Amino acid sequence: MVFIDPQIARPGAGAPVDKDWWRGAVIYQIYPRSFQDSNGDGIGDLAGIIHRLPHVASLGVDAIWISPFFRSPMLDFGYDVSDYRDVDPMFGTLGDFDALIQRAHDLGLKVLIDLVLSHTSAQHPWFKESRASHDNAKHDWYVWADPKPDGTPPNNWLSIFGGSAWEWDGERMQYYLHNFLAEQPDLNFHCASVQDELLEVARFWLQRGVDGFRLDTVNFYFHDRQLRDNPPLPEADRNDNTAPKVNPYNFQDHLYDKTQPENLEFLRRLRAVMEEFPAVTSVGEVGESQRGMQTQRDYTAGDDLLHMAYDFDFLSNVYPSGSRIREVLERFDRIVTEGWACWAFSNHDVERHPSRWGFSEPARRLYAALLLSMKGTICLYQGEELGLTEAYVAYEDLQDPYGKRFWPKFKGRDGCRTPIPWVRDNANGGFSDGKPWLPMAVEHLDRAVSVQDGAQDSTLEFYRAMLNFRKGHAPLIKGNLKVVQASDDMLVMIRTLDGHSILCAFNLTGEDQRLILPPGGWRHDRSAPFDVTADGDDWLLPPWQAFFAVADHAGTTE
What is the pLDDT at residue 287?
Answer: 87
DSSP helix, strand, coil percent of the chain (3-state; round to 5): 30, 20, 55
Q: Is the confidence at residue 14, as pLDDT, over 70?
A: no
pLDDT in tens, 237-257: 888 777 888 899 999 999 999
Residues 280, 19: Cα–Cα separation, whole Å: 7
Q: Which residues of 433-447 are buried (b: 16+ CB within 10 A; e: fewer)?
A: eeebbbbbbeebbeb
Average pLDDT for 73-100? 98
Q: Is the confidence at residue 535, as pLDDT, over 90?
A: no
Helices 46-59 and 459-471: crossing angle in degrees, nearest 10, is 70
What one-character-per-residue DSSP string does 184-202 give?
A: SPBB-TTSHHHHHHHHHHH
Q: Is the confidence at residue 558, as pLDDT, over 70?
A: no
CA atoms within 13 A on the CB side of 175: 20
What one-character-per-residue DSSP string does 239-294 give?
A: -SSSS-TTSGGGGB--SSSS--TTHHHHHHHHHHHHTTSTT-EEEEE---SSSHHH
What one-character-per-residue DSSP string does 58-106 give?
A: HHT-SEEEE---EE---SSTTSS-SEEEEE-TTT--HHHHHHHHHHHHH
Please say if 511 is a catalytic residue.
no
pLDDT in tens, 39-81: 999 999 999 999 999 999 999 999 999 999 999 999 999 999 9
What is the pLDDT at residue 61?
Answer: 98
Please say if 276 is a catalytic residue.
yes
Question: Can you give the residue ranges of every domain in the chain?
Answer: 479-551
The Cβ of residue 339 has, within 10 Å, a number of other Cβ atoms equal to 23
Average pLDDT for 475-493? 97
Q: Residue 457, Cα to own-chain centre: how many angstroms?
A: 28
Residues 438, 355: Cα–Cα separation, whole Å: 19
- Are the C-beta atoms of 455 and 462 separated by less than 8 Å? no
- Are the C-beta atoms of 264 and 306 separated by less than 8 Å? no
Element holding 476 (H helix, E strand): helix 474-478
What is the pLDDT at residue 479?
Answer: 97
The active-site residue out of 37, 216, 311, 385 is 216
What is the pLDDT at residue 236?
Answer: 86
What one-character-per-residue DSSP string does 294-320 give?
A: HHHHHHHSTTSS-SEEE--GGGSSS--
Neighbouring residues of 437: CB distance < 8 A, sequence distance ≥ 6: 33, 34, 42, 43, 399
pLDDT in tens, 150-208: 999 999 999 999 999 999 999 999 999 999 999 999 999 999 999 999 999 999 999 99
Q: Is the confidence at residue 8, as pLDDT, over 80?
A: no
More confident position, 545 or 239: 545
Angle among Cα 111, 113, 114 to the nearest 5 degrees reads 155
Amino acid at 88: D
Peptide bond into 408 cis (omega under 30): yes
Average pLDDT for 322-329? 98
pLDDT in tens, 197-209: 999 999 999 999 9
What is the pLDDT at residue 534?
Answer: 61
The residues facing 167 across adjacent strands are 176
- Mean pLDDT score of the chain: 94
The active-site residue out of 276, 338, 361, 537 is 276
Amino acid at 346: S
What is the pLDDT at residue 527?
Answer: 95
Q: Is the confidence at residue 402, as pLDDT, over 80?
A: yes
pLDDT in tens, 109-141: 999 999 999 999 999 999 999 999 999 999 999
| pLDDT cut 90: percent of the chain above it | 88
For the entire predicted model, the pTM comes to: 0.95
Q: Is the confidence at residue 555, as pLDDT, over 70?
A: no
| Fold for the domain defined by 479-551 | Immunoglobulin-like (2.60.40)
Element holding 129 (H helix, E strand): helix 125-130
Average pLDDT for 333-346? 95
